[in-house]
Amino acid sequence: MEKPWSGRFSEETDRFVEEFTESVSFDKALAIEDIDQSVAHVRTLEKAGLISPEEAGRIVKALEDIKKEVQEGRFRWRRELEDVHMNIEAELIRRLGETGKKVHTGRSRNDQVVTDERLFLKRETGEVVSLLKDIRRTLVKLAEGTVDTILPSYTHLQKAQPIRLAHYFLAFREAFLKDTERFLDCYRRIDEIPLGSGAVAGSDFPLDRFFTAEILGFSKVSRNSIQATSDRDFILEFLFACAVTGMHLSRLSEDLILWSSEEFGFVELPDRLCTGSSIMPQKKNPDLLELIRGKVGRLYGNLISLLTVLKGLPTAYNRDLQEDKEPLFDSLKTLKACLVGMRKILEGLKIRSEKMRSSAGNLTLATDLANYLVRKGVPFREAHKVVGKIVSYLVEKGKRMEELTFEELRSFSEHFSEDVLELLDPESSADRKVTYGGTSKKEVERMIEVAKREEGL
């Protein structure tokens, strides 16, 4: 097959170079976008008087036929044609002859490929946002059913203070909401058409780029042809959003893995989403959660990979930019699968409320005692010291805080009155956290209603 640049060369391209440089094995994922932008480009060429209405009609009809074959899996991809663009253009020329050769007038693969990528990411961003919404809505529903479930919170993986389980689920709902905002914000910078920028300097022909943008549904037109063809910041930003979302999925996975262990026993994972051991009959392994946690490493790696590719490139297009696609495609596939997997886990999660409640008291109530003394006029640092001594006493005696008598408490500070015993309860501890965004029942219920309105539930 004759290369489109063959006029410049006296030798045929080495087979190794063809195999090493080909990208059609992965960039064929952009085929629909490539055809759609070619249709828009043809209409722009027609508007500029560079091709006749009849020619434009024939080209568009052939492109639509090729698109149907691609969608049905009947299109024959040829590696020797290098990439998705040349495969489609070669087929167009095969069908239309000289007329097909006019489709590349006024454009370069440099502005063509980045237009494809932006079209692709506009669609994929919508899919990711939809999957994130599914996760958020699932978390809100879980929160609705767990307002009265008390468990210990953890800092440094040590028990901290009693909270409501609903408050925990809403915390991750907030994280995934911010992830959604990140993708939508990224979308604003994706939504800019580079087509018409040519290879680097723009086009010689009077192409109405705003007309092309309107056809393809772009809200903005790039303002500098150099930047338009060499920019991959929008992919970096998208990969970063994928990595941050993955990090949140990984942290949630880690919690659920710990909570489903015999040592915690806070939750039970659905049998259908776990696996067993090939040697130990008793095992129920949280493999889905572990793989979500593990696959996040790929999301990080893809971001770093592209950052590394870009860091030393001279200005404008370089073939190194071909390396942007595989990290992007892999991150999308990985993230979407992880979001689906986490939603399935959350939907099938069994909560062991009694086990959570039984773990929520004892030393997690220490801060409540310190705050009690503060309300009695004791400086906080002094109150902290007094309660620290009480904790040491409990550890030494092997007693729980709820078992303390008034006399024992009084021996540590004269500021304790008998009403202090009312504090030694995890539910009342949670309900004293009345600040905006706190874990009191009233505040949690209010935030659930806010979340339901925002999620359309």
Residues with catalytic roles: 156, 277
End-to-end CA distance of the chain: 58
Strand partners, 221: 193
Instruction: Please give the angle made by the CA atoms of 11, 17 and 22, to the nearest 5 degrees.
Output: 125
**Coil, helix or strand for 203?**
coil
Give CA separation, 321 vs 21, 90, 158, 190, 334, in Å: 12, 23, 47, 17, 21
User: Is 364:152 a contact under the CB 8 Å cutoff?
Assistant: yes
Decide: 206 and 90 in contact? Cβ < 8 Å: no
Instruction: For residue 158, list its beta bridge partners.
Output: 155
- 226: number of Cβ within 10 Å: 15
Crossing angle (nearest 10°) for helices 31-47 and 109-144 = 130
- With tokens 């489709």, the residue in question is 103
Cβ(296)–Cβ(281) below 8 Å: no
| Total residue length of the chain | 457
Alpha carbon distance 119, 107 (integer Å): 17
User: In the structure encoding, which two tokens stand for residue 134, read together?
Assistant: 């599914």
Task: List 267's β-bridge partners, or say none.
Answer: 351
Burial degree of 367 (CB within 10 A; 0-12, 13-18, 19+) = middle
Query: 279-310 burial, b if ≥16 CB within 10 A, otherwise e?
Result: eeeeeeebebbeebbebbebbbebbebbeebb
Supply angle C-alpha 109, 186, 178, rounded to 5.
155
Read off the amino acid at residue 312. Answer: G
Q: Which regions of 296-444 does DSSP assign to beta strands (E)? A: 350-351
DSSP string across 222-285: -S-HHHHHH--HHHHHHHHHHHHHHHHHHHHHHHHHHHTSTTT--EE--GGG-B--SS-TT--B
